[in-house]
Chains A and B, each alone.
Chain A
Amino acid sequence: MSRKRDIEELEQRRRWAEQQGGEENVARQHQAGRLTIRERIDTLVDKGSFQEVGKLTGAGEYEAGEVQGVTPAPYVAGLAKIGGRDVVVGGEDFTIRGGTTARLDRRKGGQGGFSEDLAHQYRIPLVNLIDGAGGSVTSAKRRGHATFPGVDSFDRSVDLLAEVPVVSAVLGSAAGGPAGRAILSHWSVMVAETSQVFAAGPAVVERSLGQRITKEDLGGPDVAVAKGGTIDNVAASEEECCWMIRRYLSYMPQNVWQAPPQGPADDSVERADDELLTIVPAERRRAYHMRRVIELVFDKDSVFEIQPDFGTALITCLARLGGHVVGVVANNPMVYGGAMDVAEALKQCHFIELCDTFHIPLVFLVDVPGFMVGLQAEENGVLRAGMRAVYVASQATVPVVTCVIRKCYGMAGMATCQQRGVNLRIAWPSAEWGSLPVEGGVAVAYRRELAEHPDPKAREQELEAELREFSSPFRAAEAFGVEDVIDPRETRAYLHQFIAAAQSRLATELGPKARTGVRP
């Protein structure tokens, strides 16, 4: 009989957990346009796959030794499946004390804790659904002393970045620890209008600097995604956010000891679109849509762009080619002619390391006139950031194929090649390269001659035309200074053959990669 009572109590306790912060707080969460943590997990994972761990955690109320109710701990975590593969998922329950830290013997997750230990030991991806504001000064009163920063260490979060895919979604106003946790991820996403992220929120900002600013203006996607690049992508809704997380993980292996999953090869690798022949305008000064080039070359509907709103002169995406996962890095001539500024350099560094870590071969579609020029760029440290991109490219060991669409100049051009590898560089007939573009370069190299010339403008144009003849990719191909010049329509088949062949190398290189040295 008492066994039956035990089971009844267990079921009662589970029901209390499912009530979360109570009807009123759940309604408030919905009114704010947000899902509860349990709804989020349901939306994210394969139907019925969530095995919660620690459902009984919370603060119990007792009368004469009989439990009257339990206020659940404000964190829900467990094991689930996404696309049939195991993942660890966890997130704060904002309906309970605003998702603040629970007072448990062991953390459930978020910053260390059970969920991070599980992802680490089982070597499976971790998804953090973040909706909490972190520490509060009131905890010092409760404990009787102020806690030293790091009582909840980020060490496990840091280690995971070398082991398994880590995804974080910011789904409310995140400051402090939860905000920091979001950054220690391979990929992060936030939801437009309902989420903000910052080191410190408006109240702290006003007290510290006298600045009055709304939380949306301080940490909405316009700042956190487009300007700061703090968070990678924006979703229009929580549903879209969950879809994006599933999509992102579909390109990733379970851990760095495995190869990325092979997708369906239902788009013919021989597909050769005529549009590729005319997409680059004959007029050299005219820009074109690089995203269209990417669509035409890689498998249909396989392109997932990372950081589309930050460092917009560069495009980084995960895609498939004949079903093989590839990382695509392409310059965007629509923004500053594709020049590499600080944001572009940081974006490229992160993406290269991401692909290198998870054994995803890289394809560069190059149209880069060089590092960004001008006072603003120099003040921002473009040279240091740009050389960091060169440094990171040099350390990557995953196979790289470089396809030059138009411009490939200078040190930014060097960051698109893998000189220590096979260094396969192929070029479209529209390609041109050198240490710097002929325009501007002539003015520097022939400064004295031009100064003394009666018509310097005409002479400059004459010299430019003369030098441009040498920039034909066919001449470099004669010298094997570029490995091949191809018909743009052959790009897909050509790249595919090499990416498919590179799988042999990738299979022998699985495991974590140590990167040594000091990045510039």
Chain B
Amino acid sequence: MASVEIQSDVTGTVWKIEVKEGDTIAEGDTLMILESMKMEIPVVSTDAGTVAKILVTEEEPVAEGQAVALLNL
């Protein structure tokens, strides 16, 4: 099964994770919300699939380009 990494566009902290492993999601769905520059920045899925793994926890800092979730297509 093909899988893709979902990356964060920004450096910030994980504020709220909106999905759990095993969830079926569509392209464009919000996986989690980060906080950066005092803004809520959604991490949206680049593809449709199921959430294979969440790679971060709430309040954890993330870097730009860091993988935050794995998706099975």
The closest CB in chain B to the CB of A336 belongs to: B37
Q: Does A110 lie at the interface of the complex (its beta carbon under 8 Å from any beta carbon of B)?
A: no
Q: How far is the CB of B43 from chain A (nearest CB, A)?
A: 10
With beta carbons under 8 angstroms apart, the residue of A312, A369, A372, A374 that contacts B38 is: A369
Cα separation A374 to B36 with both chains bound (whole Å): 11
Q: Does B40 lie at the interface of the complex (its beta carbon under 8 Å from any beta carbon of A)?
A: yes
Cα separation A325 to B10 with both chains bound (whole Å): 33
Cα separation A409 to B63 with both chains bound (whole Å): 25
The answer to whether A336 and B36 have CB atoms under 8 Å apart is yes
The closest CB in chain A to the CB of B10 belongs to: A336
Question: Which residues of A331-380 have CB atoms within 8 Å of chain B's CB atoms?
Answer: 333-337, 339, 369, 372-374, 376
SS class, residues of chain A in contact with chain B? loop
The answer to whether A335 and B9 have CB atoms under 8 Å apart is yes
The answer to whether A285 and B9 have CB atoms under 8 Å apart is no
The closest CB in chain A to the CB of B33 belongs to: A286
The answer to whether B38 and A439 have CB atoms under 8 Å apart is yes
The answer to whether B9 and A337 have CB atoms under 8 Å apart is no
Q: How far is the CB of A176 from chain B (nearest CB, A)?
A: 30
User: Which residues of B sit under 8 angstroms from A286, Cβ to Cβ?
Assistant: 39-40
Cα separation A287 to B42 with both chains bound (whole Å): 8
The answer to whether A334 and B37 have CB atoms under 8 Å apart is no
Q: Does B41 lie at the interface of the complex (its beta carbon under 8 Å from any beta carbon of A)?
A: yes
The answer to whether B38 and A335 have CB atoms under 8 Å apart is no
Q: How far is the CB of B13 from chain A (nearest CB, A)?
A: 13
The answer to whether B9 and A334 have CB atoms under 8 Å apart is yes
Q: Does B7 lie at the interface of the complex (its beta carbon under 8 Å from any beta carbon of A)?
A: no
The answer to whether B10 and A335 have CB atoms under 8 Å apart is yes
User: Which residues of B sit under 8 angstroms from A517, Cβ to Cβ?
Assistant: none
The answer to whether A287 and B9 have CB atoms under 8 Å apart is no
The answer to whether B40 and A285 have CB atoms under 8 Å apart is yes
What are 25 A-B contacts defined by CB distance under 8 Å? Answer: A283-B40, A285-B35, A285-B38, A285-B39, A286-B39, A286-B40, A287-B40, A287-B42, A312-B9, A333-B39, A334-B9, A335-B9, A335-B10, A336-B10, A336-B37, A336-B39, A336-B41, A337-B38, A337-B39, A337-B41, A339-B37, A369-B37, A372-B37, A376-B11, A440-B38
14 A-B pairs besides A286-B40, A334-B42, A335-B9 with CB distance below 8 A are A283-B40, A287-B39, A287-B42, A334-B9, A336-B41, A337-B36, A337-B37, A337-B39, A339-B37, A369-B37, A369-B38, A373-B37, A376-B11, A439-B38
